Amino acid sequence: MKKIALITATVASLALAACGGNTDDANMANAAETNMEATSNEAVSDVNAAASDAATGTDNTLDAAGNALENGASAVGNTAEAAGNAISNTADAVVVTDEERKK
């Protein structure tokens, strides 16, 4: 039984010794992974910022177009009202003129 335990302990110590020499490689791999993650996070942030800017620009453009349409509709309404008033004023002037003729 002691021989099996001794063999197991020897194999385990050899395995640990084999892994222990790669700490520099492991640290470099961890650093590379950290740098890649940071770069990925920055790229995602840049894409999100660009999408947000594009959405804001689109909203502003649509708002401006809506305002232009609203202003155009108001101008048409004002023109129609002015035309109606001009016709009414002309009719009033004609009626006054007819009444003055009858006198």
Domain total of the chain: 1
* Domain encompassing residue 96: 35-103
Classify residue 78: in a domain, yes or no: yes
Instruction: Report how far residue 103's alpha carbon sits from residue 100's, in angstroms, rounded to the nearest whole number.
Output: 5
Instruction: Report how far residue 77's alpha carbon sits from residue 83's, in angstroms, rounded to the nearest whole number.
Output: 10
Classify residue 79: in a domain, yes or no: yes
Of the candidates 22, 59, 2, which has an alpha carbon nearest to the alpha carbon of residue 10?
A: 2
Classify residue 14: in a domain, yes or no: no
pLDDT of 27:
66
Instruction: Report how far residue 103's alpha carbon sits from residue 92's, in angstroms, rounded to the nearest whole number.
Output: 17
Classify residue 8: in a domain, yes or no: no
Classify residue 45: in a domain, yes or no: yes
Classify residue 2: in a domain, yes or no: no
**pLDDT tens-digit series, residues 28-38:** 766 667 677 77
Q: How confident is the model at residue 91 (pLDDT cuts 50, 70, 90)?
A: confident
Classify residue 4: in a domain, yes or no: no
Residue 56 has pLDDT above 80, yes or no: yes
Classify residue 40: in a domain, yes or no: yes
Q: How confident is the model at residue 44 (pLDDT cuts 50, 70, 90)?
A: confident
